[in-house]
Amino acid sequence: MWSTVEVKITSPGLFRIVYITEKYNCQYPETILSFIKCVIHNFWTPKESNEITIIINPYGDTVCFSVEPERKIFNYMIHVNRNIVDFKLFFVFVAGVFLFFYAKTLSQSPTFYYSSGTVLGVLMTLVFVLLLMKRSIPKYSTFWALMVGCWFASVYVVYQLMEDLKWLWYENRTYILGYILIVGFFSFVICYKHGPLSDDRSRSLLMWTLRLLSLLLVYAGVAMPQFAYAAIILLMSSWSLHYPLRAFSYMRWRMKQWFPSEELVVKYLTEDEYREQADAETNSALEELRRTCRKPDFPSWLVISRLHTPGKFADFVLGGSHLSPEEISLHEEQYGLGGAFLEEQLFNPSTS
């Protein structure tokens, strides 16, 4: 699902890649989408270089290309490596899934609004400037035409800069940092001046835009189109299940109102009932303890060796009382009629 084939071509001299596959032939395109792909691919053909790396989908169509050198005498080497798991694809897929489920939360977050506005101003300055000039453009058709052109130009510039990113960073590090700081600062100031999105319509538009972008990331982050379609269907299904669950919970709430259940009546115990239940449960527990101690696998010798009064325990197992006469008389003195506990409860004023 995330495997790719990496073709790396190196040479001492300059060369360029020319694709000769039929799907990149723009003379007889089958559909409009294939024509757009063809134009974009030909527009972004790698320029002349000493080293070119091509990422090929192993489950797609056959890709044929030729190496055209700048000089007639030319030597080059081709290295083919298959990546079982391309972590770039996997990261794009995970980012798409995360963005899909958290699109609503991100659309309502001021932090995401300011950070995304700053990044948009740095990477796609033309798009950012066009959004600021939206009110001065009278027609929506003109605005969207300019928006498509600015997006295409910005993506092309970013793509071209990514190819020479290492060289630009080592040679012009000061200028790049200055551009990022200045443009990023003004972008943040403009976003802070306009403030985060407050109306529901703008938040909803941003949420749906993020979800559409997440589906594109999911599709781009998988090598097999069949798995990408299945993942998109699962994501849409999981999101659409939210509404049936809400309807089910609403119907359940209405059914409780229409058919109210009988309320539980809480009945408190009297003093006599409390004593009767306590005596019954105590006798039942003692009898269960006797049955357990009479079992053949019960470690009687181990238990007797740890008791202070093993004779009393043996009498209890054989059917005697678990209390000695001294313990019964002591309990009566403490908690019976005329006992110390009852006198303290009745005549001690500090007892609540």
Asked whether residue 14 carries a pLDDT value surpassing 80, the answer given is yes
Between CA 219 and CA 221 the distance in angstroms is: 6
The pTM of this model reads 0.53
Q: How many CA atoms lie within 13 A of 314 on its CB side?
A: 8
pLDDT digits 0-9 by tens, 62-117: 778 888 888 776 788 999 988 888 888 889 899 998 988 888 888 888 888 888 88
What's the confidence (pLDDT) of residue 163? 59
Residue 20 has pLDDT above 80, yes or no: no
Query: What's the token pair of residue 116?
Result: 């995304």
Enumerate the domain spans of the chain: 4-85, 89-223, 271-344
Helix ranges restricted to H, 259-323 = 271-293, 300-306, 310-317
N residues, the chain:
352
Give the tens place of pLDDT for each residue, 201-244: 888 888 888 888 888 888 888 888 888 888 888 888 876 666 66
Give the model confidence (pLDDT) of 22-44 as tens digits.
555 555 555 555 555 566 555 55
Of the chain, the percentage scoring pLDDT greater than 70 comes to: 78
Rounded CA-CA distance 143/141 in Å is 5
Q: What is the mean pLDDT of residues 48-69?
A: 80
Closest CA to 46 of 144, 164, 151: 164
What is d(CA 46, CA 94) in angstroms, rounded to the nearest whole number?
28
Average pLDDT, the chain: 78
pLDDT value, residue 166: 62
Mean pLDDT of 145-150: 76
Distance CA 184, CA 44 (A): 28
DSSP 221-266: T-S-HHHHHHHHHHHHHHHHTHHHHHHHHHHHHHHHHHSPPPPPPP
What is the structure's pLDDT at 262? 67
